[in-house]
Structure 1
């Protein structure tokens, strides 16, 4: 009997231990989920507080937002600007910062940006608003001369990170961030080597463009919406000679077939980002170290076991048997991925190139935060069904935290963006007439390079034009309005008192007509006519002062765009901009204009 009692005790102990392990795993999942929900609640609370303090409570998606983008007027609905949630652009125009946004003298929101690039972004958003979810527009492009400026704006407004390649397959920022996290090699550039929609689906073309290129990442989109791919730190190649183990000990032939070789790597992985039955993005590493297959008749191929590859591309199709050489999916519903073939909609191969540190302050902080993401914890100590359930939950939590982190990062940079790009006083908006072309910018932009002619000309401690020596009409308080009225000959003092009692500001004053004045209790016809006449004089006197710049709009525009980017860089909102590049017909003229405004050594800052 003792033997049986001992066996029962041992069985109960094993059962109790398994129960404790299970309860511990469930507790970890519950705690992680609760932490995420708390972070979401805290973030929403901070947004609500900001909206109460600075926001427009009546903001609506149907509002028409009037924007002065570098001198060009752009009118667009608020909902169009805010449709990409979590971006800086959405934050800027959401309404919660409305009271802090800088306005020009006509009350338009002012952005010190290149208008051509900004209009391209608005055109993209207009197209996005009428596009189906499965057919989104590509990110905007402009002429080659302005493309680098547009790239800066896309990054500035959070529509694309400098970490992200121009991909036709991947269009979610969170997916790009995950790829970077999984690479774990610091900041990297992605150079497009091959795109099947552009280059064709022949394996020969793939190898001609991708062989001997070092580290690469492959993105695949199938016709049924599956997004997946793989990373290799080993160069692709085309076997052309009999296998020689002494020439490359990390490669081995497959089944004696001299046209195929398999390369060993400890870093290669395959990944699945989205698609039907895909609970969350996941990275799958090799289980046996045999990761990359090179075959002249195949495209990128990952894994090979018993003559079956985990991912094999050939002539526009991808065959999937995930779980052979690489880890199996952590969730159990996507059976097609372990035994299926799909038609490829598009496939891209990018070379991964490490680049020197040139991150903005915000990107460096983001990287530090992103390293704290939940790690997917693969569980294999319970039954298959329980393991799959737990692993699926961990993978989902990782995906959700990635999205929450992106929202947290975006909110942290909102106020900096508002203050640096769209904050400030109306008097610091400088209107320029560049040989007939209207350009508008900020005083700080023109002064970003010290000791330049522009910096001296627009120094508000020395320069009295453009309202720098007096308060802008739109900024007048009721006391200023009352003082103005008292100074008008023939106007009774009671009029000034009425304006003050009704708290009429400068912005409201210029909007008053005869009916409005009567509502304030001013009834005498002569007084009404005199007031309307004086208000019109005031309007004309306070119209934007425009400074004439007698130089080529093309040349001065190049200078101004560079100064804008330099100013953003100084604020930590953009990377160091490249030097302006003038077209050959304008090069000599551009150099002269630069040397005029930036004499001596300072011209080297723009000319190199």
Structure 2
């Protein structure tokens, strides 16, 4: 009976299994399959979307890395061609600043990273810089104003970060406008600090604005939608990481573009400032009634057809500076010079031709070199050695032109011509005001101006209106006036200042405010 009962149950179970599923059952299965298919499609879309974003970000990162590498390579090539790889912050640099010799360590001159001043003395353009006959770097600037900048940098080098903004360069009131223009030229304006810090490795990190950048670009989504609130934390972290990466890439792209632009501007500044090999960029040394001044010939020719410009035109200047350029001598010219040395046998000159000794090599010859050249007699070697030393001294002498006028008056004219030239070649944005001077020097100044700029041309220097002394200017949030008791401490305006000076009314000083970041870089 029991066996029969079990057999019946098995048959009933088999019959139940063999029955087709109900419509309700089929509906549940169909819905589940559809839902899983949609979910799987969303997962696939999200994964494809993620891969697409990652690939795109990776491609963009590689593009920026390649661009940065190209800029780096251009910098290296430029430094190899124009710079000196063996420079050090401890190098002592001698500068001929308008005729005055100023010495400073390279590290001090390069303290303000990202500025034109740093570019000049960084060593990147060492072979491009203009030098006088003694090998000193030449700057066609007012020496008093440049000395004030160097003094300021020396003080900054021993100051705390808190003291940086409080210490500003100062000069006397008459030279205040010259200092303002030099600060604009060497310290402010063209080079963005953030970019140049990145270029020369002084940046300590970029601000993290990735989330802001990502939100501005529209954000990122996967699978055509946003993760639901309360969804997977992992998904949210992935989205956040991709947003941050895109934001960082956008930041980097902007920095690299600025980096490239700044490098081009630096190169352009160096080429323009040093004269770019122009014919009239040669250095003129002036003895102004006992005061030595130096400038480029192009500066003296800024106002064409003036007596001053004519005095230093190509023809007359060639006559004034008609000295042999020994460095360019050919072997035949070297041999001819040797023939002119008393008591040196004529056959010795032939040795210089046979060995193809040029002028630059002549200066490098010492007694040992003369022996290797084939000169055997000790006396002849000594005569040649002494003659070479004398020739070297003569070649290094500056051709000095005497100016028989007041250094005060001629210096005022020269400073104005310097600024006028810098403005004409787009290195100074602000047009310089006409020269200002003390009232007691008015008659003498007018006489000197009308001598060099007769007739209508004198109006380019003089103006019949009287003007007040140049006012102070804002620098780093501090209003600067003539120096008082301490370095960089501004004095308030004087209620009873000097009598009005003769000249053009000074234009209002432009906004000229800088700050100094904790790393010592200047930013505007």
- Relative to the length of structure 1, the TM-score reads 0.58
Corresponding residue number in structure 2 for 1:377: 217
1:136-147 alignment to 2 at 5 Å?
Answer: 136=164, 140-143=168-171, 144-147=173-176
Correspondent of 1:280 among 207, 224, 228 = 207
Identify unmatched segments of 5+ residues in structure 2.
Answer: 1-28, 198-202, 227-234, 464-524
Corresponding residue number in structure 2 for 1:597: 452
Task: Compute the displacement of 1:36 (Å).
Answer: 2.4
Which one has the largest radius of gyration? 2
Matched, 1:560 2:414: yes
Residue range with higher mean Cα deviation, 507-516 or 71-80: 507-516
Correspondent of 1:77 among 96, 102, 105 = 105
Task: Compute the displacement of 1:504 (Å).
Answer: 5.6
Task: Compute the displacement of 1:110 (Å).
Answer: 1.7
Aligned-partner Cα distance in 2 for 1:571–1:392: 44
Native 8 Å contact 2:195 2:262 kept in 1: no
Change (3 A) 1:129 1:149: same
Identify unmatched segments of 5+ residues in structure 1.
Answer: 165-171, 177-273, 283-328, 332-372
Corresponding residue number in structure 2 for 1:330: 211
Change (3 A) 1:30 1:131: farther
Change (3 A) 1:550 1:24: farther
Matched, 1:33 2:64: no
Q: What's the RMSD between the two structures over aligned residues?
A: 4.0
Change (3 A) 1:49 1:592: same
Matched, 1:412 2:264: yes
Change (3 A) 1:10 1:66: same
Corresponding residue number in structure 1 for 2:315: 461
Aligned-partner Cα distance in 2 for 1:496–1:427: 36
- Relative to the length of structure 2, the TM-score reads 0.66
Larger relative contact order (C-alpha < 8 A, sep ≥ 6)?
A: 2
Correspondent of 2:293 among 436, 439, 442 = 439
Native 8 Å contact 1:66 1:73 kept in 2: yes
Aligned-partner Cα distance in 2 for 1:26–1:153: 50
Change (3 A) 1:582 1:569: closer
Aligned-partner Cα distance in 1 for 2:163–2:75: 31
Aligned-partner Cα distance in 2 for 1:140–1:175: 22
Native 8 Å contact 2:214 2:244 kept in 1: no
> 1:397-430 CA distances to partner (integer Å, 9 max, x unpaired)?
3444444334322332344333332254799210
User: What's the secondary structure of 1:544's corresponding residue?
Assistant: coil
Native 8 Å contact 1:56 1:97 kept in 2: yes
> 1:69-92 CA distances to partner (integer Å, 9 max, x unpaired)?
211122333444445555444443
Number of equivalences: 413
1:307-456 alignment to 2 at 5 Å?
Answer: 330=211, 377=217, 379=219, 381=221, 385-386=237-238, 388-422=240-274, 423-424=276-277, 428-456=282-310
User: What's the secondary structure of 1:439's corresponding residue?
Assistant: strand
Matched, 1:488 2:341: yes
Task: Compute the displacement of 1:445 (Å).
Answer: 1.2
Residue range with higher mean Cα deviation, 453-462 or 415-424: 415-424
Change (3 A) 1:17 1:588: farther
Corresponding residue number in structure 2 for 1:311: none
Task: Compute the displacement of 1:64 (Å).
Answer: 3.0
Corresponding residue number in structure 2 for 1:324: none
Change (3 A) 1:175 1:73: closer
Task: Compute the displacement of 1:483 (Å).
Answer: 3.2
Corresponding residue number in structure 2 for 1:51: 79
Native 8 Å contact 2:423 2:432 kept in 1: no
Change (3 A) 1:406 1:540: same
- Flag the structure with higher helix content: 2
Task: Compute the displacement of 1:456 (Å).
Answer: 0.3
Native 8 Å contact 1:379 1:391 kept in 2: yes
